[in-house]
Structure 1
């Protein structure tokens, strides 16, 4: 039996014919416009997201950099003078003589590497010294000296006429061990840095045997045999040459790459070719102010803040005649300008930043922001000098 299909109604046939012909031009154009709008919107959103992420990362990096710098510099500066402040009358201002593997390194025979080329090569024993304006862009350079002996931080008298070429005798050798570095002082004379022999152990004998990379019987014009022959000499443990706890005699400054760098005057931790080591990136300026006790009878209180110039200039503080001013420096205030690596598309922030904005106008430093497409921040902190405060008689802050 044959079945007959019913024909499609006219309207159904018309819809089927239109569907078989595809989209109209107007429909395609509308679809393309919608798609382009969505692509553009997604691109804008993605760009803003990436920009925000980079800005957030740059800001986070700057915050981390700020915290690290504040911690590290506070740690370095707060302990300035450890190990030799208790004998400051003989030690402060003495020219430091040191050798390494038989070659004299202090006083240095050539200028220190940049950005420390203007620091005097005749280094003197001082807890902290600021060289104003000699770093990159007119920034300051900090010299800080910290002993790490940790055995009471007191000096021990060298027995008269007991010094020979490679040994000396002390009133007590308790606590001294192999490879300890001894600072030999004598009033009115340069200081000499020497090293105990690796196998030495103190306590039973008053004799200290000398040997090692930092030992030399003569350093430049100074001879250890001439010590304690008529005047009283003293010895202080400054740290150890081999156990990772050496004395820290450092220079801190900003180089041409906008990095805070440090240079180890004793060459324990410098880079290849005796070069400074970067501490942090993105530091474009650093300035320092001294907090001084100006009362006639010092009470360990900061009465005023001064620039490292005039009576507190490096040449003045290195002069034994001005040693009293060294004793008056109770604290330092450090101000730094930090900058992000990320560049904005447009200028950002103010054209000028003020360092030490909380101090008198004469102590402030205006910083002109040359690259306004990068974010800049002023970081400031105050560090009390614990060892100087102890010697002033004031209680040390926690």
Structure 2
């Protein structure tokens, strides 16, 4: 008989699969979410702090740059014509480019569109004029700053006879030593007992060769068109010519839309738009430092009353003396960060400037304004050309 062989082979068992259970997956998912939330929270806080720090730095830099621009303009104010303030301070300015009257301008861009009415409709020569908000609603002030660019132009050149106005225009002067082609000059006449005659911005014609011995100065160029500006014919043999240099600056400064420090060039600007000077400026305010006794003692005075823009620019002899007594300008800027926080920033809700004077200015933030960061900058800027006037 045959023996049956015993099967000794190992039986095949099914292989077990290794992995995470549903419970383990849920626990891992919860841990991952908690860690992710923590990481995103740290990143969010870090980003917010970085944004606030960057915004504060930008705000400080914008404010410093804006103040620097104003400082440079105001320090140079009156260059070229201050020493002859009895002839120039308060004279009505007439300037035309071709057939277009440039000063007084027909229109001005925002934020200067109300300036013309505030100063009485006439633009007059002065180193610095502060146009204060007449409504008193804590709006920003506007500055009008004028300066020539020719240091040797402080001496007026006397006329020998009345100007010639025909197909060409000429000034008859004692000498033309300080003039060259393309330079701009101020033609002024002698004042009477009460007021100053108008003054003209003119340009030395490009044909002028610069002969120092010549007594005739031809006019033409950007701010004169032969035959169209007949006001020159009214000037007397007592008139004078004052050299303003090749690029005089007749600028306006104010706070424009979007919290910007805006500027406008009265001589060369586009009446439809202003120029960006600096960002982040919410308000601009200014006061005068006057010295009526000429003893070196400054009294801080608001741009109101006798020192309101309309009073200083009324064309009178007395107003010219008041302009000459202005020896310094004190500027205050309020700057604001560009980035808004979700909640009110922990800071004072009230800001003050000129606190050490009798005419402080205070701004109180509204609820919508309290989510931004603010800085107040102040500077006292001397008028170098006015400090030597008696």
TM class by shorter chain equals: 0.7 to 0.9
- 3-state secondary structure, aligned to 2:328: strand
- 3-state secondary structure, aligned to 2:164: coil
Where in structure 2 are there 5+ consecutive unaligned residues?
1-9, 192-196
Residue in structure 1 matched with residue 95 of structure 2 by the alignment: 98
Alignment equivalent of 1:283, drawn from 281, 284, 294: 281
Once residues 183 and 344 of structure 2 are traced to their aligned partners in structure 1, the CA distance between those partners, rounded to angstroms, is 55
Alpha-carbon shift at residue 218 of structure 1 (Å): 6.7
Once residues 58 and 373 of structure 1 are traced to their aligned partners in structure 2, the CA distance between those partners, rounded to angstroms, is 13
- 3-state secondary structure, aligned to 2:276: strand
Alignment equivalent of 2:36, drawn from 36, 39, 45: 39
Alignment equivalent of 2:245, drawn from 232, 239, 242: 239
Q: Quick check: 1:194 aligned with 2:191?
A: no
Task: Tell which deviates more after alignment, 50-59 or 364-373.
Answer: 364-373
Alignment TM-score, normalising by the size of structure 2:
0.86
Residue in structure 2 matched with residue 336 of structure 1 by the alignment: 333
Task: Tell which deviates more after alignment, 71-80 or 201-210.
Answer: 201-210
Alignment equivalent of 1:213, drawn from 190, 202, 222: 222
Structure 1 residues 162 and 122: alpha-carbon distance in aligned structure 2, compared to 1, 3 A threshold:
closer
- 2:63 and 2:377 in contact (8 A); partners too: yes
- Structure-to-structure mapping, 1:293-332, within 5 angstroms: 293-295=291-293, 298-302=294-298, 304-319=299-314, 320=316, 321-332=318-329
Residue in structure 1 matched with residue 122 of structure 2 by the alignment: 122
Give CA deviations for 1:146-188 in whole Å, capped at 9, x if unaligned.
Answer: 1112335321112223534411122221231111111000122
Residue in structure 2 matched with residue 395 of structure 1 by the alignment: none
Residue in structure 1 matched with residue 67 of structure 2 by the alignment: 70
Q: Which runs of 4+ in 1 moved over 3 A?
A: 134-137, 161-165, 216-220
Which structure's relative contact order is higher, taking Cα pairs within 8 Å and 6+ residues apart? 2
Alpha-carbon shift at residue 54 of structure 1 (Å): 1.2
Report the count of equivalent residues: 364
- 1:98 and 1:219 in contact (8 A); partners too: no
- 3-state secondary structure, aligned to 2:286: strand
- 1:336 and 1:380 in contact (8 A); partners too: yes
- 3-state secondary structure, aligned to 1:249: strand
Alpha-carbon shift at residue 100 of structure 1 (Å): 0.9
Alpha-carbon shift at residue 64 of structure 1 (Å): 1.0
Residue in structure 2 matched with residue 226 of structure 1 by the alignment: 234
Where in structure 1 are there 5+ consecutive unaligned residues?
1-6, 8-12, 241-245, 393-398
Residue in structure 1 matched with residue 159 of structure 2 by the alignment: 158
Task: Tell which deviates more after alignment, 155-164 or 67-76.
Answer: 155-164
- 2:84 and 2:154 in contact (8 A); partners too: no
Give CA deviations for 1:60-87 in whole Å, capped at 9, x if unaligned.
Answer: 1111102111111000111111110011
Alpha-carbon shift at residue 372 of structure 1 (Å): 1.2
Alignment TM-score, normalising by the size of structure 1:
0.84
- 2:263 and 2:274 in contact (8 A); partners too: yes
